[in-house]
């Protein structure tokens, strides 16, 4: 091709320029934000996001690996709950409680993670479309994964869901008191002490809470029984 007597060299093949990569990522993130807002986390698909961004689905997987990573990029949080839970569930059933609490405390204690994680957590209690997406994401990637692991171990599905919700509620309570309310002395307690105290309770919920069903010690000695 010539322009005013000057030959314009054809574009070289190879890696795309940084500006093109940045533009592609921007379009993908914008499309993902809209898709999640309109359809929620579970209903949104990589293919639909690709159509909206006018890119090949393979490009999304190239930049973000999967939908979970795309959510983390949309909310700009370096903490990946799905990876944390997946690592904890890889081990034996009787060690899941300790693995979950250890992973959560280690992640939230990291200075690089906590500000963004706090912002994402506050986003889950809002009423906008992003809040809906975050709630669906956490429910699917935390509680559903835990329940599925329990069901694979023989726990009936309804009971597995309930156990997972109780276990996660215990962990969320820990996060709220230690990192959001920053209540002392829990906020300054060493991680090992937190794991020692909280992990058995989480494990108890995962195993069905049998010990919690027993009568309270000393209840028959109350004044109401006399």
**pTM (whole model) above 0.75:** no
Residue 38 reports pLDDT greater than 90: no
Angle separating helix axes 18-43 and 57-64, nearest 10 degrees: 100
Residue 214 reports pLDDT greater than 70: no
Residues for the chain: how many in total? 226
Residue 190 reports pLDDT greater than 60: yes
Q: What is the mean pLDDT of the chain?
A: 80
* 164-187 per-position pLDDT tens digit: 999 999 998 999 899 988 999 999
Cβ distance 61 to 95 under 8 Å?
A: no
Integer Cα distance of 26 and 24 in angstroms: 5
* 147-168 per-position pLDDT tens digit: 999 999 999 999 999 999 999 9
C-alpha distances (whole Å) from 135 to each of 49, 186, 207 are 19, 26, 25
Helices (H), 44-156: 46-53, 57-64, 67-74, 81-89, 96-109, 114-124, 129-138, 145-152
Regarding beta strands 6-7 and 2-3, do their DSSP bridges make them parallel or antiparallel, or are they unpaired?
antiparallel
SS3 139: helix
């Amino acid at each position: 091709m010539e322009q005013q007597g000057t030959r314009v060299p054809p574009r070289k093949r190879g890696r795309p320029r940084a500006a093109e990569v940045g533009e592609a990522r921007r379009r993908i993130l914008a499309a993902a934000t809209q898709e999640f807002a309109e359809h929620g986390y579970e209903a949104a698909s990589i293919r639909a996001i690709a159509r909206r961004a006018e890119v090949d689905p393979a490009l999304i997987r190239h930049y973000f690996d999967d939908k979970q990573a795309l959510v983390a990029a949309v909310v700009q949080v370096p903490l990946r709950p799905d990876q944390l839970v997946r690592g904890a569930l890889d081990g034996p059933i009787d060690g899941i409680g300790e693995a979950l609490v250890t992973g959560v405390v280690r992640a939230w204690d990291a200075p690089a993670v906590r500000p963004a994680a706090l912002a994402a957590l506050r986003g889950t209690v809002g009423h906008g479309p992003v809040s809906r997406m975050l709630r669906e994401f956490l429910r699917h990637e935390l509680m559903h994964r835990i329940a599925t692991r329990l069901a694979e171990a023989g726990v009936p599905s309804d009971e597995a869901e309930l156990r997972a919700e109780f276990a996660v509620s215990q962990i969320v309570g820990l996060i709220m008191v230690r990192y959001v309310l920053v209540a002392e002395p829990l906020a300054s307690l060493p991680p090992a002490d937190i794991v020692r105290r909280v992990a058995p309770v989480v494990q108890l919920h995962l195993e069905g809470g049998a010990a919690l069903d027993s009568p309270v010690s000393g209840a028959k000695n109350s004044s109401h029984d006399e």
